[in-house]
Amino acid sequence: MAARGAASSPTLDAAEHSRSSHRERKLDCGRDQGARRPGICCIAGDPIDTGAEGARAMPILFTTDGSPGHRRLALWQDIVCDVYVGLDCTSDLGSAFRGSVTHIPFGQAVCSEVCSDRQRVHRTSQRIARADADYVLVALGREGLGGVIQDGRDTVIRPGEFAIYDTTRPYELQFDAAFRQTVFKLPREMLQRRLGATEAVTAISFGADIPLQPLAFDFIVRLCERAEHIGAEHADRLADQAADLLAMTLAEQLRTQPLPASSHRAALLYRIKAHVRARLADPDLALPEAARELGLSARYINDLFSDEETSFQRFVLLERLKLCRRDLAAAALAHRQIGEIAFSWGFNDLSHFGRVFRDQFGLSPREWRRSSPAR
């Protein structure tokens, strides 16, 4: 099945020539330079030490280069299953097939770049049932075209565009020629708690329709390009910022299309959460004032939060605790007193803060600070 919106194909000979020359130019990425750098692991050759440098993660390269032709497709399937989720890959190229993936952990997310030949990729119900892989993948087009099919929709990702797909439901990826994509993998919960259900925004291409779309594309691509130079203490925060920007972009899309009631509620809840997060440092943040500023009733706001089995007050508390935990672990903030950090995020009772922190994370604020790997 062809993805909707795909460009018309040139003649077979011209297409094959284009694919061949494109592949030779592009799919060497990392093979000659990256594979010789410390921290790179070539799955098809001798492994190279992947020891971390300081607190920074190092990129790892997986490639079919050097593998016997008859083994390449099987090896490629192993690679994508290891880096992403359980997938089934097919290609008519057989022993001529080539592909590589460079990936690097980045906070709770994973940055990767995939360069490969034409293929079909399926995430099947059987694969989903076999393993608990709860992620959202953001595919950002760099070169070539990529089709995405999920949730009854299909689209084409062109260079400068991106689309998302959810690993908890079946999907199909279609590549009719060599391609290169940056793929940003993040826990589904990171997006879901900002946006709600993902069903309304999968398999939709985002490009330049609204200002946020190219901003989100550029931010995530640049983040992944610089990931190996960013310390662990900053990676979590930047991954959160990427998720925030992505959620804002998707919420904007939700506002411009007819929505089922569940998606409308999700968009409203995202708006409420964004309002709260911008005011967490205010100790007077409360439901009545937030409801008045948002033009919603307090009862309706708590009804929206009940979709996630929480409440306005509980959400505010957990968000403040997460920020305090983050700051207590930051080496750059080691000079700040625990109480100072707690008060900076809206707490006004230190004993209450210590009690709810331990209840949530299993350690006191002082114990957490001492045990933090960033210190």
Answer whether 0.85 is exceeded by the pTM. Answer: no
Q: What is the pLDDT of residues 35-52, one digit of tens each?
A: 333 223 443 333 333 333
| Residues whose CB falls within 8 Å of the CB of residue 180, separated by 6 or more in sequence, listed in order | 26, 29, 113, 114, 115, 142, 143, 144
Q: Which of the residue ranges 137-151, 200-214, 223-237 has the most confident prediction, judged by mean pLDDT?
A: 137-151
For CATH 2.60.120.10, the residue range(s) in the chain are: 12-255
For CATH 1.10.10.60, the residue range(s) in the chain are: 280-371
C-beta of residue 140 within 8 angstroms of C-beta of residue 220? yes
In Å, how far are 18, 274, 299, 342, 364 from 290, measured between CA atoms? 57, 11, 12, 22, 30
Q: Give the per-residue pLDDT at 26.
A: 40
Q: CB-based burial of residue 258 (10 Å sphere; 0-12 exposed, 13-18 middle, 19+ buried)?
A: exposed
Kindly state which CATH superfamily the domain 280-371 is placed in. Answer: Homeodomain-like (1.10.10.60)
H helices of 108-187, in order, are: 125-130
Q: What is the pLDDT of residues 94-111, one digit of tens each?
A: 899 999 999 999 999 999
Classify domain 12-255 at the CATH class level. Answer: mainly beta
Mean pLDDT over residues 290-307, rounded? 90
Q: Over 60: is that where the pLDDT of 350 sits?
A: yes
18-40 in b/e burial notation, b at 16+ Cβ within 10 A? ebeebbeebbbbbbeebbeeebb
Q: What are phi and psi of 185, to 5 degrees?
A: -105, 125
DSSP state of 208: S
Q: Give the per-residue pLDDT at 210.
A: 78
Nearest CA to 109 out of 257, 290, 284, 243 is that of 243
For 94, other C-beta atoms within 10 Å of its C-beta total 10
Q: What is the pLDDT of residues 196-226, one digit of tens each?
A: 778 888 999 998 777 889 999 999 999 999 9
Quick one: CA dihedral 170, 175, 103, 186, positive or negative? Answer: negative
| Amino acid at site 34 | G
Q: Give the per-residue pLDDT at 373.
A: 63
Q: Give the per-residue pLDDT at 261.
A: 55
